[in-house]
Chain A
Amino acid sequence: MKKDTKTSAQAVELRRRAEEGLSEKQRSQRSEAGDQSTEEETQRLVHELQVHQIELEMQNEELQRSRAEVEAILGQYTDLYDFAPVGYFTLDRDGTIRQVNLTGARLLGVERSGLVNRRFGLFVSADSRPAFNAFLKKVLESQAKETCELALRKEANGPLWAHVEAAATQDGQACRAAVVNITERKRAEAEVHAAQENLSAEQRRGQRRLKKVIRELEHRNRDLQDFVHAASHDLRAPLVNICGFGDLLGLACQRARAAVAGTQDGESLRAGLRPLLDEEIPESLEYIRTSSSKMDALLTGLLNVSRIGSAALTIEPLDLNRMVAEVVKSTEFSVEQAGATVQVDALPPCRGDANQLGQVFSNLLDNALKYLDPARPGVIRVSGGQNRNEVIYCVEDNGIGIDSKHQDVVFGLFHRLNPSRGSGLGLGLTIVRRSLDRQGGKIWLESTPNQGSKFFFSLPSAQLSESAPSKRHRQSETEVRR
């Protein structure tokens, strides 16, 4: 054994030094004393003893130094092992903990004595256990160092995430594993991940918003194009009459001149002029007059539509009960004429522009009145209700109704389903839709021919400080009867 050889060499060396020390002593004593044989013998014994004594003293010294050294090394080892910044486990083939350092025990929150001879797997969370079993198998089979990340069980503060590096011992009967707490890193990673998720969700939301705005713009653009086409179409119609009949007037004048120039006889002159003066010219003038008025009305109407689309809005919480009562009052005459009844339920408040909303109700009432069925007394009802963040109002009539194939065109510019019914340009519902559009509302309709129509529209609801509307169908009827 290496160590033993070293020790005996040390002993020999010690002995040599001891002898040297003694002969040094004797040399100085010899100069003081004379030579005698017994004395010599005694002295030889004494010498021997003294050598032994010194030898022992030196051995003792050496032993003490060695022991100090060993203690220091043990201290160092303990320090290195137990207080290493990583948990250190020695596991045997079935995962039983053979040895563990203090950091490892602290990591698991269990006394070291409570860990040894227990299976490491007990401290792995259920979710990570299959991964741990596979990992242990892999480590024991391979010669290389393996790593994995596991969730460990700890009493408080949720799971503890550990990074494990392990390698099998030479004989493959155990493995040594270094375990580092990476819970903080995991948490940070999760936070980054969540932040990224949030960010991309935010981006997606932004993109969705953008797409919506683009769709809206496209929609508006199409609306505008349709508007211009319809407007030019309808403005040209009276123009065709004005120009055409204007030309006919010119022709009539020519014929009148020719008649005047070509006839001396008053009777035949009158006969020639009469059809011109009595029929053709007045007819042409009448067409020109009506077409001009039509054109004037169209332009005024277009201007109204345009104003509805461009007037500055004051969006505010509105009490519709008062507003609708006023609108109904202003249509009193037409309602009387039509022999109709208007019922107004309690209406919830909303957010909108007072002027434009007044116009909306007014147009819808006009529309309902215009298309009542003469076969039965007209009943028009205005109602409203809350629907989540919006309020929905309904103007309902029992009139002639609208065939389903016409229901999507009634909001179009200058569209009149039945021009024989009353006057109008076909702008009322166009204005209503445009106005509601600007106020953040929508309009749609349900209608059954010969039964009546329901025009619904939605607007953002108001957070009025006063008490909210009580019940949807509380009938505080404002009736206008003839």
Chain B
Amino acid sequence: MKEDAVILLAEDDDGHATLTRMALREAGVNNEIIRFRDGQETVDFLFGTGQGPSREADVHYLLLLDLRMPKVDGIAVFRRIRQDEQLRRMPVVVLSTTDNPHEIETCKNLHCSRYIVKAAGYKALAEALEPVRLLLEHNPTTGPDP
């Protein structure tokens, strides 16, 4: 078993990905980060459906999931994860640009660990990502039991 969980960052916007990566470091999260540019890449990695690298059995992952992505959107990725016997307990932190109540509701029902609204401003973003560090420190291996 690897000791540190690997962070999977599913984010289509290059700027957001860069800022999130930096803000996580700022928040004291030094875990390895793997980034996906859309839902399809994310699914391919998690379920081994693509030609690229895929999930390793003995690694714990935490997924930072942007909702609005091309091809396969975040919610669809989320649903597939919760339907999978091996992945259903993986912690998923949702990153969204809005606090749309409808979206929050959907994510809560899918048992997201956190729903984080992407803050406008670097410091604010780092603060918003604090809970990710706490999640990793406390229990990096298990998410909620859906």
Q: Which residues of A contact B (CB under 8 A)?
A: 229, 232-234, 236-237, 239-245, 247-248, 251, 283, 287, 290-291, 416-419
Please state if A245 and B121 are interface contacts (CB–CB under 8 Å).
no
Q: Tell me the bound Cα distance from A416 to B71 in angstroms.
A: 8
Q: Is B70 within 8 A of A244, CB to CB?
A: no
Given A243-B120, A247-B123: A418 and B71 interface contact (C-beta under 8 Å): yes
Asked whether, in the complex, the Cβ of A248 is within 8 Å of the Cβ of B70, the reply is no
For B100, what are the chain A residues with a Cβ–Cβ distance below 8 Å? Answer: 229, 233
CA distance A247 to B122 in the complex (A): 6
Contact of A237 with B16 at beta-carbon distance under 8 Å, contacts A248-B22, A417-B71, A419-B70 already known: yes
Residues of chain B with a CB closer than 8 A to A233's CB: 68, 96-98, 100
Q: CA–CA, A53 to B97, complex, Å? A: 139
Given contacts A232-B97, A290-B15, 15 further A-B contacts (CB under 8 A): A229-B100, A233-B100, A236-B97, A239-B120, A240-B118, A240-B119, A244-B19, A244-B121, A245-B122, A248-B122, A251-B122, A287-B15, A291-B15, A416-B70, A417-B70
Known contacts: A232-B98, A247-B122, A251-B122. The answer to whether A240 contacts B15 by CB under 8 A is yes
Which chain A positions have C-beta within 8 A of B97?
A: 232-234, 236-237, 240
- Contacting A241 at CB < 8 Å: which of B16, B70, B102? B16
B1 CB to nearest A CB, Å: 35
**Which A residues touch B70, using CB under 8 A?**
416-419
| 27 residue pairs bridging A and B, Cβ less than 8 Å apart | A232-B97, A232-B98, A233-B97, A233-B98, A234-B97, A236-B97, A236-B98, A237-B13, A237-B97, A240-B19, A240-B119, A240-B120, A241-B13, A241-B16, A241-B19, A242-B120, A243-B120, A243-B122, A244-B19, A245-B15, A245-B19, A247-B122, A248-B19, A248-B122, A290-B15, A416-B70, A419-B12
B107 within 8 A of partner (CB): no
Smallest CB gap from A247: residue in B? B122
> A236 with B19: in contact, given A229-B98, A416-B70, A418-B71 (CB under 8 Å)?
no
Q: Collect the chain A residues with CB atoms within 8 Å of residue B120's CB.
A: 236, 239-240, 242-244
Write the B26-42 contact mask toward A (1 if CB under 8 angstroms, else 0): 00000000000000000
Q: How far is the CA of A241 from the CA of B102 in the complex (A)?
A: 24
Q: By the criterion CB–CB under 8 Å, are B121 and A243 in contact?
A: yes
Given contacts A233-B98, A417-B71, contact A241 B123 (CB under 8 A): no
Chain A residues in 8 Å Cβ range of B96 = 233
Give the distance in Å from the alpha carbon of A356 to the alpha carbon of B116 in the complex: 41
With an 8 A cutoff between CB atoms, is B18 at the interface?
yes
Chain A residues with CB under 8 A of B123: 247
> Does residue B125 face the partner (Cβ distance < 8 Å to A)?
yes
Chain A proximity of B18: nearest CB distance (Å): 7
